[in-house]
Amino acid sequence: MSAPASARVETASLAGMALGISAYSLFAVHDAMIKAVITALPAPQILFVRCIVIIALCLAIGRKGVVVDLWRSKNRMLILGRGLMTLAAWVMYYSAGRDLQLAEMTTLYYVAPVLTTVLAVVFLKEQLTLARVGGAAIGFFGIVVAANPSGFTIGWPVLMVLGAALFWAVAMILMRTISKSDRTLVQVFAQNLIQIAVMGAVCLPFWQDMGPRDIVLCIAAGLVGGIGQFTLVEAARAVPASVLGTVEYGALMWSFVFGYLFWGEMPATTVYVGAFLVVAAGLTLALSEHRNRREIIDAP
């Protein structure tokens, strides 16, 4: 019976990593949409509209059951904490988008997987394997090479992105804990419910008029972001937080693609070198996790 059990575990692990890459790819599309309107609208207003869309989706799918399950959840305080941490990360990150290029933002922001790996060891007692440390280090180095962030000057935009990375890493740890007991739809609903309350209080008194283009992009960001959030929570059920943080690098090259398509940023040779390092890190980690899971299941 060991072979079927091993196969199931291996499939779940690889599927979880694939879901993680898919989620972060969706977030890359989401980020490009928001960056397209961030110079015209304040970040709280954009996030407020986006959250309305996601909450509407959750209620359309889950109806009153999603509200009842949230009320009965034993993890309400953790859900609240995760919602506030994620909100802080997004507000800081998107506010910095007024002053930084997309490649610069992603380079700085994706120190988050390294922080997630460290926090997962400290708080979730996950094993710090050589493959996980190596995957995080090589992936981050690949992004640095790809972005070639020479000329960075330390200022508020840079500090905001680094702060966003820290808040996101903590939110990832909380998500991994919550995902063990609460439904995915409930988590997505709760997170956006918290954020819409806070963002509404911030942006409604200072609401700015939105043109048709702004409305379409914000609604589209809500649709894409909602699917991305759902996919990310599903991935957190299947793989450890340290692994999920590392596969985050697999979707980062989209930021360079979108930078070229929408803002005319021409990829240099270093982008391709960095992409190779990112892909190598992800494949190495996937193979290592696949082998480790099989050894655990097959062990007598």
pLDDT digits (tens, 9 = 90+) for 115-145: 777 777 777 776 767 777 777 777 777 767 7
Mean pLDDT of the chain: 78
DSSP structural state of residue 99: T
239 vs 21: CA distance, rounded Å: 12
Q: Which of 16-25, 61-70, 201-210 has the lowest mean pLDDT?
A: 16-25
202 vs 91: CA distance, rounded Å: 12
Among 174, 80, 162, CA closest to 120: 174
211 vs 208: CA distance, rounded Å: 10
Task: Pull the structure tokens for residue 221.
Answer: 């960001």
List pLDDT tens digits, range 18-33. 888 888 889 888 888 8
pLDDT given for residue 102 in this prediction: 66
20 vs 59: CA distance, rounded Å: 24
Q: Which residue in this structure is represented by tokens 């997505």? A: 188
pLDDT given for residue 150 in this prediction: 55
| Amino acid code (one letter) for 16 | G
pLDDT given for residue 8 in this prediction: 53
Kindly tell me if the per-residue pLDDT of 283 is higher than 80. no
Residue 196 confidence class, pLDDT cut points 50, 70, 90: very high
Residue 297 confidence class, pLDDT cut points 50, 70, 90: very low
Task: Pull the structure tokens for residue 120.
Answer: 């997962």
List pLDDT tens digits, range 77-95. 888 888 889 888 888 887 8
